[in-house]
Amino acid sequence: MRENSMIETIRSYADLAKYKLSAAVTFSAVTGYFLSGYQLDKTIFIVAAGVFLLSSGSASMNQYTEREADSLMKRTSKRPLPAMKITGKNALLASLFFFIAGSILLLINGLIPFLLGVINAFIYNVIYTRLKRITPLSIIPGALVGAIPPLIGFAASGASFLNPGIIGFSLFMFLWQLPHFWLIIIKYGDEYKAAGFATIAKYLNDRQIKSLVFFWVLFSTCLIFLFFIISEIPGKVLPFLFLILNVAFILLFHRLLFARKYEGQIKGAFILINSFSLIIMFLFIVASLLNFI
């Protein structure tokens, strides 16, 4: 019985840290590290742990801050705090621990990665979280949070994060975040409205949001090819592979997004858009390791 209780506690804190999201954020930072041209060494493990912990701290603090709103929405009512699996005090302490541990690890890799990490946490927990109740434009700082981790990884390698190549990739990551918010609003817009959040659903209907999502995604997938133009890294095999993937993704995404409505339509589109970005990052990492970009 005690062992089951311990496992449940660990699971609750993992959910508090949004471990899946934090892992994805870490993966983007690792991608940024390898795009600098540096090969695998112990630095990557330190920066990965630092980004994961800092992201976990931000996610935990966000859930602590929005615990009352989360209890009002079916989508979030089973999170650790509204479900009373973790107390507010313990959630706050866990968040502070994650913040401090992650910050120390990033500082080991240099002042720039540390500052970028702290700035990112500030944008997420102070600016984005507060603006969510005021304006639908809060998704802009929210998307910026997803664009900074690649810069952290790139800077941790010792390279300048002002490099045009990594800025181009981070711009793609920034644009790629926005459709995530809009897809969630299509499915849970009424819940967010009832909880007091300002969303784009006030101005656009579901069909219009879907059109916005599709054309935004279409533009964003084309933008990734700028990486091969503005980056100092020459492209041979990878651009051709990206072209095939882009065409296949756009056709599948359009078919899924505008198909006759069924229960898992939006969830499927959400999974697809996340999977595509993970595949792109995976290809960049593999190409860097094999040195054939």
DSSP 14-26: HHHTTHHHHHHHH
- pLDDT reported for residue 226: 75
Share of the chain above pLDDT 90, in %: 57
Helix (H) or strand (E) holding 263: none
CATH superfamily of 2-290: UbiA prenyltransferase (1.10.357.140)
Q: What is the mean pLDDT of residues 44-62?
A: 95
More confident residue, 260 or 18: 18
Cα→Cα distances 54→14, 37, 42, 64, 222, Å: 14, 24, 19, 15, 31
Q: What is the mean pLDDT of residues 41-52?
A: 92
The one-letter amino acid at 64: Y
- pLDDT reported for residue 288: 79
Please determine, for residue 233, whether its predicted confidence score (pLDDT) is greater than 60: no
Contacts of 20 (CB under 8 A, 6+ apart): none
Mean pLDDT is lowest, of 4-18, 31-45, 165-179, 233-247, for 233-247
Please determine, for residue 293, whether its predicted confidence score (pLDDT) is greater than 60: no
